[in-house]
Structure 1
Amino acid sequence: MSGKEGCIKCGSTNAAQKEVAMTGTGLSKMFDIQNNQFIVVYCKDCGYSEFYNKQSSTGSNIMDLFFG
């Protein structure tokens, strides 16, 4: 890791996060059951985004993961 903080695309520290839900495959897709939940961290300047599984990352600070 280079030690550089900020967006890996543009270097900006202007970020935000949102929660999203998506369908999986098979029956959940057929019945539009959105059982996969993610936290999306995105750069407000260039739009670069990273998805984090909400169930496995609730104990950590997502913004720290995004900025390294």
Structure 2
Amino acid sequence: MEKVQYHCEKCGHQHFVSDQFQATGGNFAKIFDVQNKKFITVSCARCGFTELYKANTNNGWNVLDFLMG
């Protein structure tokens, strides 16, 4: 597998920080506070420019999130 090189679109820096977060999507999810949208963030370590990518979610975890409240 070939390693992908990162470079910031704004400043050209080659180091990044990655994280993820979940958010609600749609009225039903908002009413029951179900976070059914998952995103991956890639942020430049120098300037902080951040790219956002939609990630696949697992329906089992969505149900568990609903039940746990």
Q: Which residue of 2 aligns with 1:9?
A: 10
State the alpha-carbon separation in 1 of the partners of residues 12 and 20 from structure 2: 23
Q: Secondary structure at the match of 1:29?
A: helix
- Structure having greater relative contact order (Cα 8 Å, sep ≥ 6): 1
Q: Secondary structure at the match of 2:17?
A: strand
State the alpha-carbon separation in 2 of the partners of residues 45 and 32 from structure 1: 35
Deviation, structure 1 residue 47? 1.1
Which runs of 4 or more aligned residues in structure 1 lie more than 6 Å from their structure 2 counterparts after TM superposition?
none
State the alpha-carbon separation in 1 of the partners of residues 44 and 37 from structure 2: 22
Q: What is the TM-score normalised by the length of structure 2?
A: 0.65
Which runs of structure 2 are paired with 1:1-68 in the superposition (5 Å)? Answer: 6-55=7-56
Deviation, structure 1 residue 39? 0.8
State the identity as a percent. Answer: 37
Where does the alignment leave 5 or more consecutive residues of structure 1 unmatched? 56-68
Across the two proteins, how many residue pairs are aligned to each other?
52
Q: What is the TM-score normalised by the length of structure 1?
A: 0.66
For the aligned residues, what is the CA RMSD?
1.7
